[in-house]
Structure 1
Amino acid sequence: MKEKQNLVITIGRQYGSGGRIVGKALAEELGIHFYDEEILTMTSEQSAVGEVFFRLADEKAGNNLLYKIVSGMKPQLGKPSTDGDIVKPENLFRFQSEVIRELAYQESCIIAGRCADYILSREDVDVPGLVKIFVYADVPALIKRTMEVDKVDEKEAARRVKKINRERKEYYRYYTGGRWEDWTNYDLIINTSKFDLEQTAKLIKDYIKLKGIEL
């Protein structure tokens, strides 16, 4: 009898797209864990590095972004250092990557952001039940949802959408060498301007079934 493989869904999401809400609701429906900021706490506990360091570096590029872009370099995902450079952004990313890989090996789950699609797609990682999703929306829809969820006015919502999505784009480029919004990185891309969040969750479920992965 074939052993059931873990279903691991990664969700890349523009700020304001509703990706986190969709991921959390889908995880509850499937009876699996949803990991977003929880990963920061888990990585802090496992590495014995203060959680504040992980929060300061969360989904933000390291200190040498321009150099990395020009040179095409990206941090190696080897073992994290426990020496003097333990709290460097690149090293924190290695710690976090280890936790993401362990979660994928141990259980079915949904992981939001943090380059999880890249981390779990590498040749040295084997996650047969991996499904990589990217959720985005038209700018007016991003702003409207941010106003509703964050309870802010239109100007502040527009500022957050622009700033946070720029940070996520730079973060992805810094740590993967690739483009965050390159659709070839993902299995399924969904524009939530066209669907409500319940329909988006159903789309993901239908796609998983089409791939033959048992829910």
Structure 2
Amino acid sequence: MKANTIITISRQYGSQGREVGQELANRLGIPYYDRDLITLAAKESGFSEDLFDQLDRRATNSFLYSLTMFGSAGINGLSLTDQLYVTQRNIIRDLAAKGSCVFVGRCADYILRKEPEIYNFFIKAPMEKRLEHAKDDPKVPEATKETLEKLDKQRSAYYNFYTGQIWGNAANYDMCLDSGVLGVSKVVDMILEYIDIAQKE
């Protein structure tokens, strides 16, 4: 694998995209970044991690939502959701500049789109498989079809607003893979094979 290879994973909720990212990073021996970016963003901004965590869970493009839920527009004229995005964007760029790594979510595919060695993947799965995995997530109080669809809509709204692209659109990714059919390890195998072939061209 070439130096400064960046891998991004976008995913439907419950499709095991996080597990794919973690296994990729483990196999390659490179850093993995996901929710820990919230901690970094909170430390850099001076806001509480709990506040950023709430904003992240309710990923939204609404300025009024930030005002209603948190009573403040943040600083520098930015809503709190905007400030979270900007802070995470800067952290993602700094981490990518340090070397090869794997990012899950956070609009990293768009933020790092100008990197020469970036590979973007979207992980999906059938609803029944997603529900099985979501039941093991303590952060999801009730794993239902409606809950997962709502979570996906929130991710889509956040991504579409900050990137101007369409979340889940195959044209935005190198590959879209079904973890429900392939399983995590086979998805990782295919991603690594794709990157190997692409870097040899």
Structure 2-normalised TM-score? Answer: 0.84
CA drift of 1:64 comes to 4.5
- Counterpart Cα distance in 2 of 1:8 and 1:105: 10
Q: Which residue of 2 aligns with 1:133?
A: 121
The aligned counterpart of 1:120 is: 112
Tell me how far 1:48 sits from its aligned partner.
2.3
Provide the C-alpha distance between the structure 2 equivalents of 1:146 and 1:111, rounded to a whole number of angstroms.
21
Q: Deviations over 1:70-123 (max 9, x none)?
A: xxxxxxxxxxxx9454662112211110001111111211001011111111xx
Extract unaligned runs of 5+ from structure 1: 66-81
Equivalent residues of 1:5, 1:128 under 8 A apart: no
Q: Is the 8 A contact 2:15 2:133 kept in 1?
A: yes
1:168 to 121, 140, 155: 155
Rounded Cα–Cα distance in structure 2 between residues aligned with 1:87 and 1:50: 15
Partner Cα separation in structure 1 for residue 96 and residue 76 of structure 2:
29
Amino acid at match of 1:46: E
Question: Aligned pairs, how many?
Answer: 188
Aligned-partner Cα distance in 1 for 2:190–2:179: 11
On the 8 A contact 1:7/1:109 being kept in 2, the answer is yes
Cα distance in 2 between the residues matched to 1:151 and 1:171: 23
Query: Do residues 110 (structure 1) and 102 (structure 2) align?
Result: yes
Distance across 2 between alignment mates of 1:23 and 1:93: 21
Structure 2: where are the runs of 5+ without partners? 65-73
**Percent sequence identity over matched residues?**
32
How many angstroms apart in 2 are the aligned matches of 1:203 and 1:13? 16
What is the aligned partner in structure 2 of residue 61 from structure 1?
Answer: 60
Deviation at 1:165, TM superposition (A): 1.1
Other-structure match for 1:72: none
* TM-score normalised according to structure 1 size: 0.79
1:24-72: CA deviation from partner (whole Å, max 9, x where unpaired): 111111111110011111122222232223212216113249xxxxxxx
SS in structure 1 at match of 2:143: helix
> 1:164: Cα distance to partner?
1.2
Cα distance in 2 for residues equivalent to 1:64 and 1:86? 9
- Asked if structure 1 preserves the Cα contact closer than 8 Å seen for 2:109 and 2:120, the reply is yes
Q: Does residue 38 of structure 1 match 2:36?
A: yes
After TM superposition, the structure 1 = structure 2 runs for residues 149-160 of structure 1, keeping only pairs within 5 Å, are 149-150=136-137, 156-160=143-147
Structure 1, 160-169 or 196-205: larger mean CA deviation: 160-169
Q: Whose helix proportion is higher, 1 or 2?
A: 2
**Structure 1 segments of 4 or more deviating over 4 A?**
none
Partner of 1:183: 170
- CA RMSD between the two structures: 2.3
The whole-number CA distance in structure 1 between the counterparts of 2:48 and 2:76 is 15
The match for 2:67 is none
State how far apart, in whole Å, the 2-side matches of 1:156 and 1:138 are: 14
For residue 27 of structure 2, the aligned residue among 26, 29, 32 is 29
